[in-house]
Structures are given as C-alpha cells and as structure tokens.
Chain A
Amino acid sequence: MQAAQTRLAKTQDQLATGKRVSTPADDPIASVRILEISRAKAQSAQYGANSAIATNRLSLEEQALNDSTTALQRVRELILQAANTGTLSDSDRQSIAAELKSRGDELRDIGNRQDGNGEFMFSGFSTLTRPFTRNAGGIVTYAGDQGSRVLQVGPSQRIADSDSGFSVFMDIPEGNGTFVTAAPTTNAGTGIIDIGSVVSQASWVPDDYAINFTSDTAYEVRNSSNALVSSGTYAPGTAITFNGVQVSVSGLPASGDRFTVNEAGTKDMFSLIDDIVGRLTTSSTTASQRSNLSSFIGGALQQLDQSLTQTQSARSGVGSRLSRLETIDTARLDYELELSSSLSDLQDLDYAEAITRMNQQLVALQAAQASYARVAQLSLFDYLR
C-alpha cells in the first residue's frame, strides 16, 4: 500500500509540474540529453542575438553605401557638366567645383558615420578612432585599419559585420586597373589622351611609360628606364599600341608634349574629388589648357566609375551577407523548433497517459485498502462468544 501511495504521489507530481523527468535520477539518459538540448537552445538564442546585431549593422552599412552611391552619382553628373569645356567659363567651373567640394565632404561624413553604440562603422577594428580626417596638408587620410570584425552567427558560421573604410573608400583601383593615362599641364599643344584600353593583358609589362612627341607627327614610347618601347607616326585619333595596351591621342600635340601611361595603383575617392576640385578651380582659358582639362576629365570620369563600382560591389557584398544571415536565421529557427520539440518529447508529460496511469494507481490503491480492511476484520476471536 505504501508503494502504491509513493507511485501515486509521483504521478501526481508529474501531473502538477507537467514534466516527466524532474531530476537526473528519474531518467539519467534523458536528463543528460535535456541538459545538452537546453544548452544548445541557450547557445542558439545567443547566435540569434549575434545575428540580429550583425543584421542591424549591415543594414546601417547598406544605408551608408546607398548614400555614398547617390553622392557619387551626383559627382558624376557634375563632372559631365564640367566636361563641356568649350562653353563653360572659369566661374561656371568654380561653381561646379563648389558643389563638388560639398559632395566630397558629404562622402567623408558618410565614411565617418557611427552606429548606435557610437562606434565608427568604417574604421576597421579601430572603431573608436574617427577614420577620415583632413591632415595639415588638406589631404583626407584614413586613420582606421584594414580589419573587418566578424560575428559568430552559427556554430561554424561567422559573418563580417562591417567593411573597413580602406576597402570601401580608399583601396580603389586606379585607371582601368591596369594602367592610367594622364596629360601633364605643361603640354603646349591641344592633344587629348583618352583612357585607353587593354588589348592583351598577357603582353602588358607593368611599368610607367611616357609617350613623347618628337615632332608634331612622330611619337615614341619610352619606359621608366628611358628605353624605347615603340615609336610611330602620329595622325589625330589613331591608336597607339604597345605592350598589349592601346591608347589614342586626338587633337594636335606639339613637339615636346608628352602623355603618361602609368601602371595603375590605387586612388581614394576623397583625393579624386579634391583633385577635380583643384583642377576646376584652376583657370582653363587657352586651347591647350582646355584640351588638357578634357584629358583630365576623361581620366576623372573613369576613376569615378571605379569608385562607383567599388561602392556597388561593397553594397552587393553587404546584400549577400544580409541574405546569408536570413538563410542562417531561418535554419536556426527550424533548429530551435526541433530542439524544443525534442525537449518536449524528453521532459514533457503525456497527460493522457499520466491521467490513465493515475486512475489505475488509484484503483489499485483503493482495492488494496478495501481488501486489507476486509481481511483485517477476520478473526476467530469474533466467534468466541
């Protein structure tokens, strides 16, 4: 009867708590699993929190990159306006330069954006350091680093929650990524060099080249050690091809004029805009000055497009990370659901079964009590009267 009562009390306890297993001794194997699953759930919840933070930061970054795209597109429009070298006066160019300057500052402000925690979004690991400042020489420098913080968003998944300002604003390939053309302002003629193109990447020998006009119609191409690479006769608009690249000069270069075809390095957005502003505020009234400006604006447009591409690719990187996060979140929620249901299978009580069991135990106890009472009454002494 005591045993029956103990069993009944146990069932009653299960019904009251709704849990099948209340201590490891009840079912050691299940309880170890319960501990493990509870831990996995807590861990998963933390990954969820991490993922939410990463999503938040990446959304902020996406916004910043959108804003910088808008600013860069406006810069592009302004450069196109300035490209109209024949009709614009110096003062027109100055007013364009003024707007360009403010767009440059806007870009810098975007680069210096902070997130909700007051951390600079684009300074790599140095999130407490303002990444973009003008130094004493008026040049925008990057004070951050090239680090990119990653967050643990799954057991084996880590996702970068930022891009460094270096990779977004600074580390932009120059020219077409292989070489960059330029016309020195000292040229006396009206020759204009285009941005050129790569004909054969394999034939390209990285070096800084100069196209020197030895007369109005003859040119030679020399490398940095002044060795002759190529030479030819010049006619306006004809392509000059050497070492797998092709550039074309139009207009009428004077003897002694030179154009450079330099190996591409990197050029940051701020110095690009500063350069354009500087160039537009310089007077360009003579034909040769205007030709020179045209060469310059061709190069600047190309460089701006590189900046736009860089920003867009950073943005698509952020977008793909956001969509990866979404996939991870969905998978994690499924996993959590599964954990919850395993947990429930392990520790939750089957009420129907427990209530049936309780009824059976009650009947058994009552039967034991009733039969005891009947048997206990039986005594021979009752008949000794």
Chain B
Amino acid sequence: MANILSTGVSGLVAFQRALDTTGHNIANAATPGYSRQRTEFVTRQPQSFGSGWLGNGVDVSTVTRFYDELLGTQTRIASSSYSRLDSYAAKAQTLNNLFADTTTGLNASLQRFTNAVQGVANTPTSVPARQVLLSEATALTGRLQTYATRLNEIEGDINSRVASEAVSITTDAQALARLNQQIISSQSATGQAPNDLLDQRDRLLADLATHVSVSTVRQDDGSVNVFIGKGQPLVLGGNAASIVTTRDPFDTQRLNLAFQTPGGTVELGSTISGGSLGGVLDFRREQLDPARNTLGQIAVGITAAVNAQHREGMDLLGNIGGDMFTVGGVGVQGSSANAGSGTVTATRGAIGALTKSDYIMEFTSGGWAMRDAGTGANVPLSGAGTVGSPFTAAGLAIVVGGTPTVGDRFKVLPTAIAVAGMAVTITDPARVAAAAPIRTTATTTNTGSGQVTPGEVLDATNVALRNTTTIQFLTPTTYSVNNAGSYAYTSGTPINLNGWSVVISGAPSAGDSFVVSNNASGAGDNRNALALADVLGQGVLNGGSDSLNGAVGRFVGGIGVATNQAQANRDAQKIILDDNQTELDSVTGVNLDEEAANLIRYQQAYQAAAQIIRVTQTLFDSLLAATSR
C-alpha cells in the first residue's frame, strides 16, 4: 500500500517536472538561441516479491536539451561566410555607387577634358576656349581627388569598423569565458548539463561567428575552447584573450588587429578570415587598395601623357609648353619598427611599367630585396641602388642610402598618393600650348613639285629646335642643310634634325629650298592641341596596352563586376545559411503544437497520478473502516 502511494507520488512529481519543462519550452518559444528541452523519465528499480517484480514508479533521470553539435557548427561556419560576404558586398556597393555615374563619372570627366582640348584646337586664339580647357583640367583633377577623398573616408569607416569589431570580439570572448566557468562549476556540482547556460554559450558563439570565423574544441569539463585565425586561442576554459587594434607599421592611419598577450601584442595580419571583420579586411585588401592604386595609376598616366605632348607645343606667347599637370610622387613609408638609419627614395620611371601593387623593400643579410606587398612575390631588382644606378623594378627607380639594419622594411607605394598631389600647373590660358613650335615654308621661287609637311616635334628640349634651317636642293636627288653637306633625298622619307621631323615629297628641282623656322606668330596653329586630344586614346598604361580611356572603363567595370559577384555570392550564401538555420531550428526549435499536446498529456497523466493517491486514500479509508469496528 505504501508502494502504490510512493508510485503515485513519483508519477505526480515526474509529471510536474515534465509540465515544468513544457512550460519552460512554451515560455521560451520566442527566445533566440533557446533549444527545446525534454524531461526524461526512467522506471524505478522494481521490487522483487515472491512471484515476480513489482514496479516502483517513475524517476526523472535528466532534462535533455535538443541540440545538434554538428548542425550548430555548420550553421556557425555558414553564418561566418555569410557575414563576410554581406559586409564585403555592402562595402563594394559603396565603392560601386561612387564610380557608377555615367554623367559625372571619371569617363565623363575625361571625355569633357578631351572635348575642351578639341575646343582649343578649333579656335586656338580664343582665350575663352583655353579657359574652358583649364577649367576642365581642374575639374578632372577635382574629380580624381574627390574619389581619393571618398576612398579615404571608406578607409576611415573600415578603421572604425575594425575597432568596434575588436571590442565586440573581446566582449564576446570574455562572456564566453565567464559562461565556461559557470558551466564547469554547474556541471561538476550536479553532474548534469546546465542546458540554459549551454544555450547561452551557443548563442554567443553564433554571435562571435558573425564577427569573425572561429573554430571550437569541446572539453571534457563542459567548457569550450575558441580559436580564431590560424589557431590563436581566443578563449581557453575560463580565460579570454583580448583583441586590440594597432597602427599599421607602414601607415599610421591604418588600423590592424593584434592579439594582446602579457608580453605585448602579436599582429594577426591576414590570418583573420570570415565574419563581418574578415569581410571588411578582405575588402580593404582586394578592392580598396587596388582602387586607390588604379586611380593613382590613371592620374599618373594622364599627367605623363598630357605633359609629354604639351611640352612639345608652343603657347600663345611663343614659349615652349610646360607641364599642364603635376602629380604626387611615389610614397615610401618606413616601418615604425626599423632599427637602422637607412633611407629609401623612389621615383617613377617608365609609366607603362607601373602596376597596381604596393611593394615592400626589405634589407636582408643579402642586401636589399623587394616583394609585392599583396602577393608576397619576390620582385627582382636591377641596378645598384645608387643615384647613378638606381634599382629599377615595376616602373620605379629606387635609391637607397644610410645604414639600414637587417630586417628594416619600407613600403613603396608607386601610385597611391599620386592623386592627392595632383594639380593643374597652368593658370594663364595663354600658356596652353596649342601650336607646334616650328613651321615649314616652301620658298616662293621653287620651280619643282616638291612639297613639305608642316613638320612635327620629336624633342622640344633641343636648343636648336626653333633655329631657322634651310634645306636646299643641290640636285633633284641631293640637298644641303644650311648650305652645308650633301644628303641623298628620297621622296617621302622623314628628315630629322634639331629635334623636329619634316617630310619632303615630290620632285624638287635643283636650287629649290624649304625652310624650317620658328612658328612664333602661329597663334592660329592647332597641331599640338590635335595631338593632345589624341593622347588619352593612346596606349600608355600597363606596358602600352591600355589607353587612359580604356583603363578608366575597365577600372569602373571591374568594380561593377566585383560588386555584382560579391552580391551574387552573398545571395547564394544566404540560401545556404537559411538552409542550415532551418535544419538547426527543426532540431532545437519549440513546436507549440507539440508542446500543447504534451501539456494535455502530462496534465492528464498528472491528474491520473493524483487519482492514484486518491485511490490509495480510499484504500486506507476502507482498511481503517474495516479495522475500527
């Protein structure tokens, strides 16, 4: 009889626990990260009596948490990937929007500049047309600089993002360490898994995974060790490491991440991957830096091509043209860790050989070595590094000096700061060199059919360029220059002298002469302006294969492709993440219908168990009534 009472009470208690759990499930149906729980029943040890074993009721063995470790890990990985792609795509979209505009974009600015040059070519004597050209040149410079500024702003955004990510990661790591401690003590005290703490920890891990890619190792004591990057321990049991931001050794404007250890900081560098942090760092490396360098490359290309042509011309005042643009030089940043007093200076050599990469010059025990800052590939240096024989590589001429210490490093930025230093050097419209400095004249008394081209300038720095030079035919097949020498004449073959080139064709008679002279009064000449309008369409970049127009088109298109790809990848990853999440939710999620059914079931079982106690009471009462007589 005592047995039936204890059996009833055991049921009553067990179903009360089950109802507690169901209530807990229902109450947490909307709690993020909550995993469904179930009260597990086991039958008590039966009692033996003569004719067999008699059941003794039920016990609650444990409360099980429905969670799939594998699915959880999968979802975390998927979420890291998604967060990376999401933040990458968002940043790429910013860049994309910056360059997208077809009416105010770089292409349009470049074309307007070319059109303004054509305007000068149409009316070289018109000061307003020249003024328009200078304004368009300034607008082009301004457009490039606006882009450079916006890129710096994006860099600033990334810096603050990196800083806030570092804080988030550290905070999560500390919370994880505390939870680990609580879990270890709870588990060792009761021997049972503290389900709700585990949920909290899984939720924190999921949150951490959106910031950065992590790997976890579960320990026997219930704690979880968390590693980031290439195995750097972020959380070990109850201890958490700090992630801090450090200044880039080459660029104090740039924030990097480091691991705080008692002995100092350890650079994490590019080992960090995944998560929104990995996304912005990848974006900075894959998109932002190349964009800045390409923009610089375009600025350098415009400057070099336009200046070279402009210097071959003559302005309204009769002077040989100067530079139209100036552009920032090659950036060299010494590492803050350099111990020696070495110096590195660099200038640009062949514009066509310039690349989009940055480079690291390192002083090794074998002398100076250069490598690509992005890929790490070694770049062979030729030359001795002296002023007379500079190191040449990648379109740069590098001169080293001082006494460097082995291990000292310098970052060389071929084009990154070019745009910032870009400016239009001409302020006086009359100084636009639209004319060619020389002109040719067929002497009036010529009797042959010889004709001379207007001539073109090969080298405007030749001091004798504008000297009057008379080409006189001694016979129909030979000519003298300034009454000296005798040179064979072939119709149509260029005659190059004093930095110019003219072509005489036809059949000149003996005694005919042609004069090349200063074009000082040639205000209406537009030959150099025509040539200037052409340079932007000629291949000057990337080994001469790329025109400036083409480079700009490809640059803007490239950003569009990258953005489009990032968005497509993000969308694809979103589907994978959603699938994983749905799968995990199907294991851990609370189904209210199921809980409702359980509620009824356990309620009824509870009522039934209560009924057992009542039966027991009746039995007692009958027994007492029988014995009280």
Check B102–A127 contact: CB distance below 8 A. Answer: no
Residues on B with C-beta less than 8 A from A50 are 118, 121-122
B600 at the interface (CB under 8 A from A): yes
Check A49–B560 contact: CB distance below 8 A. Answer: no
Give the interface segment out of B176-184, B260-268, B442-450.
Answer: B442-450
Contacts A24-B99, A149-B524, A380-B596; A127 near B557 (Cβ below 8 A): no
- Once bound together, how far apart are the Cα atoms of A148 and B554, in whole Å? 38
Residues on A with C-beta less than 8 A from B224 are none
- Once bound together, how far apart are the Cα atoms of A27 and B567, in whole Å? 12
From A47, A125, A379, residue with most partner B Cβ within 10 Å: A125
Number of A-B contacts (CB under 8 A): 172
| B-contact 0/1 string along A134-175, CB 8 Å cutoff | 000000000001111111100000100000000000110000
Tell me which of B102, B110, B445, B525 contacts A266 (CB under 8 A).
B445
Check A125–B560 contact: CB distance below 8 A. Answer: no
| A-contact 0/1 string along B323-338, CB 8 Å cutoff | 0000000000000000
Residue of A nearest to B525 (CB): A125
Check A381–B596 contact: CB distance below 8 A. Answer: yes
Residues on B with C-beta less than 8 A from A151 are 121-122, 526
A36 at the interface (CB under 8 A from B): yes
Check A43–B596 contact: CB distance below 8 A. Answer: no
B611 at the interface (CB under 8 A from A): no
Tell me which of B97, B107, B115, B126 contacts A117 (CB under 8 A).
B126
A221 at the interface (CB under 8 A from B): no
A25 at the interface (CB under 8 A from B): yes
A206 at the interface (CB under 8 A from B): yes
Check B100–A39 contact: CB distance below 8 A. Answer: no
Check B564–A147 contact: CB distance below 8 A. Answer: no
- Once bound together, how far apart are the Cα atoms of A188 and B443, in whole Å? 37
Residues on A with C-beta less than 8 A from B121 are 50, 151-152
A264 at the interface (CB under 8 A from B): yes
Tally of A interface residues using CB under 8 Å: 54
Residues on B with C-beta less than 8 A from A49 are 115, 118-119, 122
- Once bound together, how far apart are the Cα atoms of A380 and B594, in whole Å? 8
Tell me which of A24, A117, A381 contacts B557 (CB under 8 A).
A24
Residue of B nearest to A23 (CB): B100
Check A126–B560 contact: CB distance below 8 A. Answer: no
B203 at the interface (CB under 8 A from A): no
Tell me which of B108, B526, B533, B557 contacts A42 (CB under 8 A).
B108
Residues on A with C-beta less than 8 A from B454 are 147-148
- Once bound together, how far apart are the Cα atoms of A380 and B592, in whole Å? 8
Instruction: Give min CB distance, A202 to chain B, whole Å.
Output: 14
Residue of A nearest to B523 (CB): A128
Give the interface segment out of B269-277, B413-421, B433-441.
Answer: B433-441
Residue of A nearest to B554 (CB): A32
A46 at the interface (CB under 8 A from B): yes
- Once bound together, how far apart are the Cα atoms of A148 and B112, in whole Å? 26
Check A128–B526 contact: CB distance below 8 A. Answer: no
Check B442–A146 contact: CB distance below 8 A. Answer: yes
Instruction: Give min CB distance, B117 to chain A, whole Å.
Output: 9
Contacts A25-B563, A117-B126, A150-B530; A46 near B557 (Cβ below 8 A): no
Residues on A with C-beta less than 8 A from B458 are none
Instruction: Give min CB distance, B269 to chain A, whole Å.
Output: 30
| A-contact 0/1 string along B384-410, CB 8 Å cutoff | 000000000000000000000000000
| A-contact 0/1 string along B578-599, CB 8 Å cutoff | 0000000000000011001101
Check B122–A35 contact: CB distance below 8 A. Answer: no
Check B592–A38 contact: CB distance below 8 A. Answer: no
Check A24–B564 contact: CB distance below 8 A. Answer: yes
Residue of B nearest to A37 (CB): B102
Residues on B with C-beta less than 8 A from A46 are 114-115, 118-119
The B interface is mostly helix, strand or loop, or mixed, namely: helix
Tally of B interface residues using CB under 8 Å: 61
Instruction: Give min CB distance, A345 to chain B, whole Å.
Output: 15
- Once bound together, how far apart are the Cα atoms of A38 and B107, in whole Å? 9
| A-contact 0/1 string along B92-118, CB 8 Å cutoff | 110011011011010110111011001
B309 at the interface (CB under 8 A from A): no
Check B444–A266 contact: CB distance below 8 A. Answer: yes
Check B557–A35 contact: CB distance below 8 A. Answer: yes
A212 at the interface (CB under 8 A from B): no
Instruction: Give min CB distance, A116 to chain B, whole Å.
Output: 9
Residues on A with C-beta less than 8 A from B597 are 380
Residue of A nearest to B520 (CB): A126
- Once bound together, how far apart are the Cα atoms of A266 and B112, in whole Å? 46
Instruction: Give min CB distance, A52 to chain B, whole Å.
Output: 9
B559 at the interface (CB under 8 A from A): yes
Contacts A53-B123, A152-B533; A380 near B593 (Cβ below 8 A): yes
Residues on A with C-beta less than 8 A from B442 are 146, 171
| B-contact 0/1 string along A94-136, CB 8 Å cutoff | 0000000000000000000000011110011111110000000
Check A32–B560 contact: CB distance below 8 A. Answer: yes
Check A119–B125 contact: CB distance below 8 A. Answer: yes
B519 at the interface (CB under 8 A from A): yes
List residues 504-530 of chain B with CB under 8 A from any CB of chain A. 509, 519, 521-526, 530
B141 at the interface (CB under 8 A from A): no
Tell me which of B114, B115, B447, B522 contacts A125 (CB under 8 A).
B522
- Once bound together, how far apart are the Cα atoms of A50 and B124, in whole Å? 13
B553 at the interface (CB under 8 A from A): yes
Check B445–A128 contact: CB distance below 8 A. Answer: no
Residue of B nearest to A40 (CB): B111
List residues 550-576 of chain B with CB under 8 A from any CB of chain A. 553-554, 556-557, 559-561, 563-564, 567
Check B105–A35 contact: CB distance below 8 A. Answer: yes
Check B600–A384 contact: CB distance below 8 A. Answer: yes
Residues on A with C-beta less than 8 A from B122 are 49-50, 53, 151
28 A-B residue pairs with Cβ-Cβ distance under 8 Å, sorted by A, are A23-B97, A24-B96, A24-B557, A25-B96, A28-B561, A32-B554, A35-B105, A35-B556, A38-B107, A39-B107, A46-B115, A49-B118, A124-B522, A125-B435, A125-B521, A126-B524, A127-B124, A128-B523, A145-B519, A145-B521, A147-B524, A149-B525, A149-B526, A150-B526, A266-B444, A266-B445, A379-B592, A384-B600
Given contacts A38-B103, A380-B597, 15 further A-B contacts (CB under 8 A): A24-B96, A31-B560, A46-B115, A117-B125, A119-B524, A125-B522, A127-B523, A145-B519, A145-B522, A146-B442, A149-B525, A152-B121, A171-B442, A263-B447, A380-B592
| Nearest 7 interchain pairs by C-beta | A24-B560, A127-B524, A32-B557, A125-B522, A125-B525, A25-B563, A28-B560
Footprint of B on A, CB under 8 Å? Answer: 22-29, 31-32, 34-36, 38-39, 42-43, 45-47, 49-50, 53, 117-120, 123-129, 145-152, 158, 170-171, 206, 263-266, 379-381, 384
